[in-house]
Structure 1
Amino acid sequence: MEKIPRIGVAVIVYKEGEILLGLRKNAHGEGTWALPGGHLEFGESPEQCAVREVMEETGMAVKNARPGPYTNDLFENEGKHYITLFMVCEYASGDLTLREPHKCSQWKWFSPDALPEPRFLSLQNLIKAGFPLPGL
């Protein structure tokens, strides 16, 4: 298999001043806290991917999806390379539900200044780059 970077979309979902994170399992980054998201599908915009992934993973609808920064994420131990496009969204409706328990063990809302650790590499790189999480 050819080693090429993949495109991931990570969704920063805000609700009442908090950010949604999930505890990953059965995938690279297992045991780390990550934003909802996934692979950008062929023909899909990052905005469409953000809306789809949040619904698939949490059962919630989001609104006002807009582009954020990107990170260059090299998972050396797993031999994976991602360009992660961050989308910033607001919670719109729906109850938070664990819809993919084989991929994530829990979802929780956190204050941007009290994010749990360990953090998924793309989230670590976003924070390292200085993206301002505490506001919209």
Structure 2
Amino acid sequence: MTAVVGVGALLFAPDGRILIGRRVKRGESPTWCLPGGHVEPGETFERAAVREIAEETGIAAARVREARVFAVALRTESPDTAVTACVVARAEADVPDGTVAAVVTEPDVFDEWRWVSPEEPPAPLFPATGMLLAAWHGHPAPEGWTVHRVADL
């Protein structure tokens, strides 16, 4: 048995929309997924979220502000111990009209990024993304997850 420590990022644009990508990883059915990934040794949850955002979307770390953990979740129906920190952050706009450009940097994982309403994300959602959005909205955790809120935002 191994332990998997991950992070998912709820990245808000100045207009209140969130960034979500179409995950097309080989061997998986396509789903919609927030930026995120594994926490590397020596990283905080916040630093891991900012790094993953930059790696997956091309949004420079210097343009990601106010990253903070609001919940920690445990995947209870997994053969491994799987912990995911839920991080919320704000993106600074690229240009005066408030646009924040995201690009596909890992085409083997994502084929597009979209800014969407956090109340109306596309479906189907990647399981950790569904859990993170439920936690953000204050809804009960999806089956197979235990969520512990650590901050009210």
Q: Shorter-chain TM-score: what band?
A: 0.7 to 0.9
1:64 and 2:66 aligned:
yes
Aligned partners of 2:26 and 2:72: how far apart in 1? 21
Q: Is the 8 A contact 2:23 2:110 kept in 1?
A: yes
**Which residue in the other structure is 1:40 paired with?**
39
Q: Report which of the two structures shows the higher radius of gyration computed on alpha carbons.
A: 2
Q: Is the 8 A contact 2:26 2:108 kept in 1?
A: no
SS in 1 for 2:92: strand
Aligned partners of 1:74 and 1:105: how far apart in 2? 30
Offset, 1:47: 1.2
Offset, 1:87: 0.8
Gap runs ≥5 in structure 2: 95-100, 139-152
How well do the aligned residues superpose, as a CA RMSD in angstroms? 2.2
Offset, 1:82: 2.2
User: What amino acid is the match of 1:44?
Assistant: E
**Which residue in the other structure is 2:137 paired with?**
132
**Which residue in the other structure is 1:84 paired with?**
84
**Cα deviation digits, residues 68-105 of structure 1 (max 9, x gap):** 212223575xx555211011000125531111111111
Per the normalisation by structure 2, the TM-score is 0.74
SS in 2 for 1:90: strand
Aligned partners of 2:91 and 2:27: how far apart in 1? 27
Offset, 1:114: 0.8
SS in 2 for 1:122: helix
**Which residue in the other structure is 1:14 paired with?**
12
Offset, 1:122: 1.2
Aligned partners of 1:74 and 1:101: how far apart in 2? 30
Equivalenced residues, count = 129
**Which residue in the other structure is 1:104 paired with?**
110
Aligned partners of 1:56 and 1:92: how far apart in 2? 17
User: What amino acid is the match of 1:5?
Assistant: A
SS in 2 for 1:117: coil
| Structure with more of its chain in strand, by fraction | 1
Taking a change above 3 Å as real, the CA distance of residues 43 and 59 of structure 1, as seen in their structure-2 partners, is same
